[in-house]
Structure 1
Amino acid sequence: MTYNLAPKGAPWFEHLTDSVRALGEAAREWQLADRAASLNEAHVGMERSVLHEGRTTHEPGPDTVPLHRRTYDNRRPHVSACYELQRLYREHRSRTRRGYRDTAMLYASGAAWAITQAQTGREPHQVVFTLDHYERPAPIPHGYGIECLGPYAGAKELAAAYEQLRSMHLAEDISEEIAGRPDHEVTERDASDMWEAGDYARGLPDAAYAYGRLLERALQYTLLGPKNAHRRQLAEQRAAEQAAAADEAEGGSR
């Protein structure tokens, strides 16, 4: 199933709306995947699991390669399974968390970019990102701040969401900066600041996604002017066509 997109000949703002919505849907998919990965990781967490300590013995068979021809005693199948699943789910959670963060930031910054473009009189059909310089290039998020929207009813909520995202982004930068220092340069206070900032920054993907949703609504407010101008243009074109048809009909009746 696919969404009904704006037809090919639709005005630019309808295609731009589709572009921002697609960014939101992408972030939503990663959000759901991250939620599921979090539940899976918690399911096998050692602090929550009731482990069965029953043991098995693994003996070499006639076709076992010489390197492994010895008896493995005291295997605990349930414990081994939980440890292996915990490792796999932790790796998976790391991937989904990164994907959610990246797509949520693209959503928020893409929606902010679209608003800025409309505010400055430009008419892009799609959100445009620049690729980075890595071996597998990825889109670089835009800045996520916007100019004042005047009497927009959701302006205060939007400003609060922006400040929350900005503070979490700053906390992430602080945590990563301290983590990147040599061990001998990190004091106990630095380590405490790093963990505190990192813990706060865990909410960044959710903050970016929530801010993106608010920006997407604000985009529709910003596009009211271009939409009204487009309607006026269509009305003028129809009036001109009707006048031309009336003149042609009047000329033919003479």
Structure 2
Amino acid sequence: MRDKTQYWTESLFDSVYALYETAREYQTAHISAQLAVDTVDFGRRRNHEGRIALEGRTNAYGRTLTREPHEKALSDLSSLYDRAEAEMHRRYEEAALLYASGAAWAIRSVQNGEQPPVVAFQTDDDGHAVQHLLDIPGLDTYVEGQALDAAYDVLVGCAGSSEYAEDLAGRDYVSEHEAGEMFRAIDASDGLAGAAYAYGLLAQRALNFVLIGPRRAWESELAAARATQSAQTSN
């Protein structure tokens, strides 16, 4: 069982790691949902053309209505899987953004001299966590600083495309040119979840870097306390 008296550096890292595990669960669920969609793709497989009769129901010519049950099953499953894939994508994106922004918040907090035991989020009117800012300044000496900056740029680009697509979609009138821009923005925004997850992974490693100082200070305090206790015991 995990020690409930963890030092703040460890409980903070565990908090970010829990956000990582959450995002990874939804990433896996989204991949599974995508695979399910592919299994009923009419472009990849043919349905069996055998038919069944539906007694008591007639077609436009007054004949007993018939149906291809396999085709209907594929059609129904396609609709079901499409909805599931869209929902898993939404949840994966939300979890990945919370993960990335939570790690960024933890780093900024440590840089500001704070000692948060866990990542804290504000909530919206429905009680859902609201993501933090994503930028992480002050890591010029960090060996993966350039990779982190590059991942941030990709993430910001995807987020901008998503906001632009939502803005265009919400307008009463969209010109043909704007419609083309909207669809391009939607395509670009599809990578938002993956970009947030990738940025979160780098930010999580960066958190370990900024925690080096506080961890060493804590170890020094423990060593000094043990030395004092040993001296008192020997006396």
Question: What is the aligned partner in structure 1 of residue 80 from structure 2?
Answer: 88
Deviations 1:193-245 (A, max 9, x none): 00001001101101101110110000000000100111111122222223333
Distance 1:85 1:203 in 2: 25
Larger Rg, first or second structure (1 or 2): 1
Q: Which amino acid aligns with 1:89?
A: Y
Superposed displacement of residue 133, structure 1: 1.1
SS of equivalent residue, structure 1 residue 121: coil
Distance 1:100 1:209 in 2: 9
Question: What is the aligned partner in structure 2 of residue 66 from structure 1?
Answer: none
| Consecutive unaligned residues in structure 1, runs of 5 or more | 62-69, 250-254
- Scaled by the length of structure 2, the TM-score of the pair is 0.94
Work out the percentage of aligned pairs sharing the same amino acid: 39
Deviations 1:173-208 (A, max 9, x none): 0000000001xx200110000000100110110110
SS of equivalent residue, structure 1 residue 150: coil
Across the two proteins, how many residue pairs are aligned to each other? 231
Superposed displacement of residue 71, structure 1: 7.2
Question: What is the aligned partner in structure 2 of residue 29 from structure 1?
Answer: 25
Q: Does 1:100 align with 2:92?
A: yes
Alpha-carbon RMSD: 1.6
Q: Which amino acid aligns with 2:113?
A: G
Q: Which amino acid aligns with 1:142?
A: H
Distance 1:72 1:104 in 2: 53
Question: What is the aligned partner in structure 2 of residue 55 from structure 1?
Answer: 51
Q: Does 1:209 align with 2:197?
A: yes
Q: Does 1:14 align with 2:10?
A: yes
Does structure 2 retain, via aligned residues, the 8 Å contact 1:12–1:124?
A: yes
| Consecutive unaligned residues in structure 2, runs of 5 or more | none
Deviations 1:20-76 (A, max 9, x none): 000000100000000010011111122222122222111149xxxxxxxx9751211
SS of equivalent residue, structure 2 residue 225: helix
- Scaled by the length of structure 1, the TM-score of the pair is 0.87
Question: What is the aligned partner in structure 2 of residue 161 from structure 1?
Answer: 151
Q: Which amino acid aligns with 2:210?
A: T
Distance 1:173 1:72 in 2: 52
Distance 1:71 1:176 in 2: 48
